[in-house]
Amino acid sequence: MPDTRPKLTASPRNLDALIVGAGFSGLYQLHCLRERLGLAVQVLEAATGVGGTWYWNRYPGARCDSESHSYNYTFSRELLNEWEWSERYPEQAEILRYLNFVADRLDLRRDIFFNTRVAAANYDEGANQWRVSTADGREFRATYLITAVGCLSTTNIPDIPGLKSFAGDCHHTGNWPHAGVDFSGKRVGMLGTGSTGIQAAPVIAQGAAHLTVFQRTPNYSIPAHNAPLTPEFKRWVRENQDEIRAVMHSTPNGHPFRISSRRALATSAPERQAIYEAAWAKGGLQFRATFHDLLVDKAANDTAAEFIRARIREVVKAPRTAAALSDIDHPFATKRPPIDSGYFETFNRDNVTLVNLRDEPLECILPEGIRTRAGTYALDTLVLATGFDAMTGPLLGLNLTGRGGLTLARAWREGPRTYLGLQVEGFPNLFTVTGPGSPSVLVNMPVAIEQHVEWITDCIAHLRRSSIRSIEPDPQAVQQWVEKVNDAANATLLPQAGHSWYLGTNVPGKPRVFMPYAGGMARYRGICAEVAGRGYEGFHLTPDPADAHKGGQLRQA
């Protein structure tokens, strides 16, 4: 790629744009603002390297649930041609290698401050600047502040009595030691059976003397059937990049497979069974794509749910364990559906025990282990696969203060309120990549990220071209978008999970709001394009004072 880099025009601490986070979002945002717009831009990153969620989540079995050929940037032909994935589902270390490859290839590191955690960010209205202070006492100033902090980066450590008293090692999966954890000869206890616990259990069981999985809520899981990619498949990917991208851009979830137009209940029972069996044999998230109505019709969903429950009962030999694992009471895919590599089979091992916390609730953690109502389980190592304060947690953790001293915590005290998941009223020139109210976690993330980054880049280009000082959403547009997000969720079964991190119910005291936009990525992309096409409809654009005579404040509602 030719080096078309502009020279920095501002001091590193008085920038055009500041990006928080050097994961998938931050890296691409840096590239776009620096190379396409020629801005003075820096990234602040708390970690010592790039990677974001893939830097921190190094737990055993950590792997992406999107198929590798769809889990990369698609904006650059060179990047696509120069990288080759090795497995159907890339493991954490390979994704981290990929993001390091991108950072090197695009020469991004020179504009990233590592080991730099944002402590607070305040909007200075007079200067029209964001003032960002870091935990080590530095200050940066920038016209535009872009959060690229990911949706699942604030760990959720449960408030269990005695947790701190545990005498052995205790690790949250989202903050895993870089040196790894040696489980050999250890009695390991794991809390949590979401996507993470389901990935980790089979690998921990192989290395530990004993693994006890403490299950509060049973979960569906579809076999991943991970495998090395064949030379033929790799060639097919290389030769069909445009088609693969076109499919990812046309589907509601950004994955490279289409959702069938068949309806489960309009299909005969034997045919339906055959379709589920074929999807089970193929594995992966596309199990959800077998029928069009699985996420909108409870009776249709029941057919998939019952198929999976029956598979669990077939696989797991001990009847009590099989019953505890298959007694799933939320509709299929209303929580993030995990895919696994031998999760249910793991419970057939002699060194694995399932503790059903519905039968014997967890009482406390002791120095020597976990006590439930039925007794104490002695443990040497505790693994917390207990998830994240999703979507809002990473943003609230930045301690943002907008116009007039309004904090984000106050603005969102009843739940996140955004326009398109991209901007927050009262926080001019702040952009939130994959923010709440955007499809984000319901979508293959790189697809959602590329769309957001490109939209933000085009928006900033427009602001600068048109001498606009600041952009901020109108209250009415925010209200209408919040209603749209609610309506989109309510048109599906997603809220029927009752309890999920999509709804924020996994964190005590968090407002119960369905946070991502469930209307589908393709539709959302169209909405964002229309908004921009109509001169940023629903945003309030304030011209530079020098241009104020040209018409004062522009309201694009």
Q: Structure tokens of 86? A: 């090795």
CB of 242 to ligand NA7, least distance (A): 28
Contact region with ligand NA7 (CB under 6 A), list: 41-49, 193-201, 366-374, 447-455: 193-201
Size of the chain in residues = 557
**φ, ψ of residue 149 in degrees (nearest 5):** -95, 5
The answer to the question of residue 194 lying near ligand NA7 (CB under 6 A) is yes
Binding mask 247-286 for ligand NA7 (x = CB under 6 A): ----------------------------------------
Separation between Cα atoms, residue 86 and residue 88, nearest integer Å:
7
| Three-state secondary-structure class, residue 209 | coil
Interface pick for ligand NA7 out of 8, 160, 170, 461 (rule CB under 6 A): 160
Q: Counting beta carbons within 10 angstroms of the beta carbon of residue 164, is it exposed (0 to 12), middle (13 to 18) or buried (19 or more)?
A: exposed
149 binds ligand NA7 (CB under 6 A): no
Within residues 316-375, the interface with ligand NA7 by CB under 6 A covers: 336, 357, 362
Q: Would you give the DSSP letter of residue 213? A: E
Q: Which of 8, 36, 105, 158 binds ligand NA7 (CB under 6 A)?
A: 158
Minimum CB separation of residue 357 from ligand NA7 in Å reads 6
Query: Of these, 150, 192, 473, 519, which contacts ligand NA7 (CB under 6 A)?
Result: 192
Do 181 and 171 contact (CB within 8 A), yes or no?
A: yes
Out of 134, 196, 253, 434, the residue judged to bind ligand NA7 by CB under 6 A: 196
User: Tokens representing 17?
Assistant: 């744009």
Q: Candidates 192-200, 257-265, 289-297, 412-420: pick the segment binding ligand NA7 (CB under 6 A).
A: 192-200
Q: Annotate each residue in 483-522 with x if it binds ligand NA7 (CB under 6 A) or - if it does not, as one string.
A: ------------------x----x----------------
For every residue of 310-330, DSSP letters joined together read HHHHHH--SHHHHHHHH---S
Q: At what angle do helices 241-250 and 521-533 cross, to 10 degrees?
A: 90
Residue among 452, 469, 445 nearest 418 (CA): 452
CB atoms within 10 A of CB 260: 17
Which residues between 422 and 481 bind ligand NA7 (CB under 6 A)?
A: 441
Q: Does 197 bind ligand NA7 (CB under 6 A)?
A: yes
Nearer to ligand NA7, 197 or 543 (CB): 197
- Between 150 and 473, CB nearer to ligand NA7: 150
Shortest Å distance, C-beta 362 to ligand NA7 = 6
- Tell me if residue 116 falls in helix, strand or coil: coil
Which residue from 420, 387, 375, 450 is spatially nearest to 523, judged by alpha carbons?
420
- C-alpha angle 21-25-31 in degrees, rounded to nearest 5: 95
Question: Any idea what DSSP says for residue 157?
Answer: -
Residues 198-217 that bind ligand NA7 (CB under 6 A): 214, 216-217
Shortest reach from residue 434's CB to ligand NA7, in Å: 12
Q: How far apart are CA 276 and CA 130, in angstroms?
A: 52
Least CB distance to ligand NA7 at residue 361 (A)? 9
| Binding positions for ligand NA7, rule: CB under 6 A | 152, 158, 160, 191-197, 214, 216-217, 336, 357, 362, 385-388, 441, 501, 506
